[in-house]
């Protein structure tokens, strides 16, 4: 394989063979192909695309770059969920124990927050003691005993994706359907799951700014996932406002606990149920989505899901009494109310702005090495469609660090559109591709 | 300036400001922007283009990255020639002394061969003692005393272009009109010339494979050259076969000497006269091209151009007796005749294949650090349109190194198309843009 020839072919709308793609990925991981050639190649892929055979080859090359996990010793159809990343998206924390409570094993490998969206691992690690670093055998043992586990991805799984993703992040080559598909599906296939439910976010702050492109992404993910032997389905869900009422690690754990105890915001519960029903369907546990919804609602209301969550926390060394008594949690040093500048109705809440503001409050990372303040974040008292009076609190910001409160308030006010006419939130689930 | 934002803007068909381009180039030269970000940016430029204001800004940023040469102390309008690179193109060796003999100073900064095309510097350095490394003051002195000088580009001139070009070469980002324009024109502007005649090669082996694109390139070069304050004109010339009858460094010097002495192949003489007449016109020395052609033909036939060449060789420390007595030159160890496999007419000679074969014979470099065999190359006994008999010698290959003669003969035979019907070479000059 001549790397310059591969770049030139892709640049000129050509197609690479599976062998070429496999060799190219191997050469990049081993350092034979330098970053600058890979960067030029990735930009050519972003602008010229890859056909389905190339995308499959890329996904397989990513998988082959590292180890894979064998979960065949765990009985039943294992199903995972993956979200393309939303602000305030704490669904995984609720969904994994809920679906496990229904008897379907959930082997979940999650990520950390970077940029404006939070990460499931960071949220769980805001529980004292909770570890997301399990050995492969501990992961398998917990799946067998508890039925679910949420862990970080091992360094030994798909190292090619890790190296390529880090390069994409700094070379403007993120928004490409084949590259996104290969990145997501290689990780999921390598972690040993049998089924995969995708939560593809649509709207402002999503991976792809264009709605039509996002639909195409979901279609590609489902088609390619099936091609890799995964049972795959995707829900398209709106992220034109943050999900639920909290953004920030410990605040989101609190909201997850509420939903696990049968309470919490309806939209968080509804989305969890919808995704969970799809997971049960993939596992062959139910005959209709309606059956799944009522089965899972029952598990939330009965406390079975909550009990499963406590089992998972205990198994992953988290302090169980901590999650049992959120009322005892230490609060952030500062709570800053954000008043509505006018009378009206909330017409929308810009997820991107809220996400970035929460990062600056300490809830996320601008750079990989940044520390996180677990208590930092925002509580949204008003959401799209709500009536507000001038001066009424829209949002309460939580911060441990010294910040310019006036500026934070102004940024949040700019994120919340207040209209003089009644408004309505778009339906949370915009579509289903299966 | 945020480099990722610049990459993303160009990727998404946006336009960068002159300030952004200037800062981006500065940051790249200083090492703040790494190769991988520049590579992604360059690929985005290749595929999305740059408008005229961006191209001008890039050219100026290249110029500002280093020193510029002030030739205002040399009286008269200084005119240089630049070719986009052809196989067998030895025109510069003849043209510089010829135009200087007509009283127009020629400050020529030339390049080395890389890839399938040869370099003027390598050809001149095949003359024992000849140096192409002159200080700026020695360059100026020689221009004042001799009237012409052909030297290598100083490391201190447009370092940004050197760094960017090296990256383009290994990232598949060469064929881009704005990038080619900025590279050529920044160097020419910085070397201090007042006028520039461009020889833009068209056809197989040229910078841009597509003829329409090549015409656009020539138009852009002329428009942008004028915008930079250079008197600029371009000739479009065919390179569907190598120029003249020799390819290889010392072989091309020999052919140049023949033309300088009023002999040599008609096509080499004709192209030299055409480019020279344009240079005289830019310098205001003549009133019509016809006047220029006859004036320059007279200088070739009278020996005035040859005398000027000897002055230049002497001034640049070349052994004058060497160029005066080509009959005493040491020949290559092996001369391999390439017989015609059939009767017919030569219908074309693939420049790209001939250029690459000559590199393998030792006439050029595959990598920068490769050494050159000055005597290696090819003599084309037959050219497009010539009648040949089966077994008659088409080409004689010259090599000092051990090569597989059978394979070399087969490659050369494959490069020469012999047709059973009479053929005719395309006119050498395909167009003029001024």
Residue A61 lies in a domain: no
Domain stop point among B302, B324, B346:
B324
Q: Do A43 and B44 touch (CB under 8 A)?
A: yes
From chain B, pick out residues whose CB is under 8 angstroms from the CB of A34: 35-36
Structure confidence at residue B114 (pLDDT): 66
Kindly give the parts of chain B with pLDDT less than 70.
Answer: 114, 205
Q: Does B101 lie in the same domain as B30?
A: no
Q: Is B82 a catalytic residue?
A: yes
From CA A28, how far away is CA A168, in angstroms rounded? 13
* Cross-chain Cβ contact B172/A42 below 8 Å: no
In this complex, the residue of A37, A48, A167 whose CB is nearest that of residue B171 is A37
Q: What is the CATH classification number for the domain harbouring A359?
A: 3.90.1170.30
Instruction: Evaluate whether residue A68 is within a structural domain.
Output: no
Locate the chain A residue with the closest alpha carbon to B171. Answer: A37
CB contact under 8 A, B35 and A34: yes
Same domain, B314 and B173: yes
User: Which residue in chain A has the smallest CA separation from B45?
Assistant: A43
Contact list in B for residue A173 (CB cut-off 8 A) is 40
In this prediction, residue B205 carries a pLDDT of: 65
Q: Is residue A426 assigned to a domain?
A: no
pLDDT for A111 equals 86
What residues form DSSP beta bridges with A196? A80, A232
| A342 and A367 within one domain | yes
Contacts of A40 in chain B (CB under 8 A): 39-40, 42-43, 171-173
ipTM of the complex: 0.88
Quick check: A286 and A280 in contact, CB under 8 A? Answer: yes
3-state secondary structure A213-281: HHHHHHHHHHHHHHHCCCEEEEEEEECCCCCCCEECHHHHHHHHHHHHCCCCCHHHHHHHHHHHHHHHH
Across the interface, whether the CB atoms of A37 and B42 are under 8 A apart is answered no
Residue A265 covered by a domain? yes
- Statement to judge: residues B87 and B174 lie in one domain: yes
Are B148 and B21 members of one domain?
no
pLDDT for B47 equals: 98
Q: What pLDDT does A304 receive?
A: 98
User: Domain range for residue A112?
Assistant: 79-324
| Same domain flag for A261 and A287 | yes
Where residue A10 sits, what CATH number does that domain have? 1.20.970.10
Q: What is the pLDDT of residue A114?
A: 67
Q: Which of A324, A353, A385 is the last residue of a domain?
A: A324
CA distance A184 to A179: 9
Distance CA B132, CA A264 (A): 79
**d(CA B430, nearest CA chain A) in Å:** 27
Q: Give the residue from chain A lying closest to B10, CA to CA.
A: A172
**A168 included as an active-site residue:** yes
**With contact defined as beta carbons under 8 Å apart, do A317 and A131 qualify?**
yes
Domain co-membership, A344 together with A400: yes
Residues of chain B positioned with their CB less than 8 A from the CB of A7: 43, 171-172
**Residue A222 pLDDT:** 98
Same domain flag for A275 and A340: no
Cross-chain residue pair A170–B36, CB shorter than 8 Å: yes
- Total domains in the fold of chain A: 3
In terms of domains, do B274 and B415 share one? no
Contacts of B48 in chain A (CB under 8 A): 47
My answer on whether A274 and A369 are in the same domain is no
Same domain, B236 and B373: no
For testing contact with chain B, the best of A33, A43, A164 (most B CBs within 10 A): A43
Tracing tokens 């005398």 back to the chain, one arrives at B307
Verify whether the Cβ–Cβ distance B171 to A44 is below 8 Å: no
B 42-61 → A contacts, CB under 8 A: 42-44, 46-48
Starting from the edge strand earliest in sequence, which strands make up the sheet with A195-202, in order? A79-83, A195-202, A231-238, A429-433
Domain end call among A300, A324, A348: A324
Q: Which of A8, A44, A172 sits opposite B7 (nearest CB)?
A: A172
Residue A430 placed within a domain: no
Tell me if chain B has a CB within 8 Å of the CB of A16: no
Residue A161 lies in a domain: yes
In whole angstroms, what is the distance from residue A255 CA to residue A252 CA? Answer: 5
Disruptive mutation site among A40, A42, A164, A209 for chain B (greatest number of B CBs within 10 Å): A40
Give the pLDDT confidence score for residue A288 in this predicted structure. 83
A73 lies in some domain: no
Select the residue of B36, B47, B48 nearest A39 (Cβ to Cβ).
Answer: B36
Task: State which residue of chain A sits closest to B164, comparing Cα positions.
Answer: A36
Do residues B156 and B230 share a domain?
A: yes
Per-residue burial over A232-267, b = 16 or more CB atoms within 10 Å of its CB, e = otherwise: bbbbbbbbbbbbbbbbbbbbbbbbbbbbbebebbeb
- The segments of chain A whose pLDDT lies below 70 read 114, 205
């Amino acid at each position: 394989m001549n790397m310059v020839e591969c770049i030139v072919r892709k640049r000129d709308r050509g197609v690479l063979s599976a062998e070429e793609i496999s060799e190219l990925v191997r050469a990049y991981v081993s350092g034979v192909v330098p970053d600058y050639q890979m960067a030029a190649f990735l930009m050519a892929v972003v602008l010229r695309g890859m056909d389905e055979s190339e995308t499959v080859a890329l996904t397989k090359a990513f998988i082959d770059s590292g180890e894979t996990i064998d979960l065949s010793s765990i009985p039943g159809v294992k199903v995972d969920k993956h979200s393309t990343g939303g602000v305030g998206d704490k669904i995984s924390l609720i969904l994994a124990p809920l679906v496990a409570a229904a008897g379907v094993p959930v082997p979940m490998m999650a990520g950390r927050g970077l940029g404006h969206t939070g990460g499931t691992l960071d949220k769980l690690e805001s529980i004292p003691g909770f570890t997301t670093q399990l050995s492969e055998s501990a992961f398998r043992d917990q799946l067998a005993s508890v039925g679910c586990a949420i862990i970080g991805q091992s360094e030994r799984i798909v190292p090619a994706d890790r190296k390529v993703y880090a390069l994409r992040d700094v070379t403007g080559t993120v928004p490409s359907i084949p590259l996104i598909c290969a990145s997501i599906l290689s990780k999921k296939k390598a972690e040993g799951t049998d089924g995969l439910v995708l939560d593809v976010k649509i709207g402002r702050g999503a991976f792809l700014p264009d709605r039509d492109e996002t639909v195409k992404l979901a279609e590609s993910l489902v088609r390619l996932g099936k091609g890799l032997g995964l049972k795959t389905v995707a829900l398209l869900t709106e992220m034109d406002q943050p999900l639920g009422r909290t953004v920030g690690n410990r605040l989101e754990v609190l909201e997850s606990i509420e939903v696990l105890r049968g309470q919490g915001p309806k939209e968080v519960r509804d989305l969890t149920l919808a995704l969970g029903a799809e997971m049960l369907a993939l596992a062959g546990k139910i005959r209709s989505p309606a059956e799944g919804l009522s089965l899972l609602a029952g598990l939330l209301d009965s406390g079975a899901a909550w009990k499963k969550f406590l089992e998972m926390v205990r198994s992953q060394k988290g302090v169980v009494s901590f999650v049992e008594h959120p009322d005892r949690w230490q609060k952030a040093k500062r709570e800053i109310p954000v008043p509505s500048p006018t009378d009206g109705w909330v017409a929308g809440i810009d997820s991107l702005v809220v996400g970035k503001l929460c990062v600056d409050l300490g809830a996320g990372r601008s750079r990989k090495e940044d520390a996180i303040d677990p208590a930092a974040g925002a509580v949204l008292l008003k959401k799209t469609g709500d009536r507000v009076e001038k001066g009424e609190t829209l949002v309460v910001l939580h911060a441990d660090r010294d910040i310019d409160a006036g500026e934070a308030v102004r940024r949040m006010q700019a994120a919340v559109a207040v209209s003089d006419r009644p408004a309505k939130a778009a339906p949370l689930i915009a579509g289903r591709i299966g």
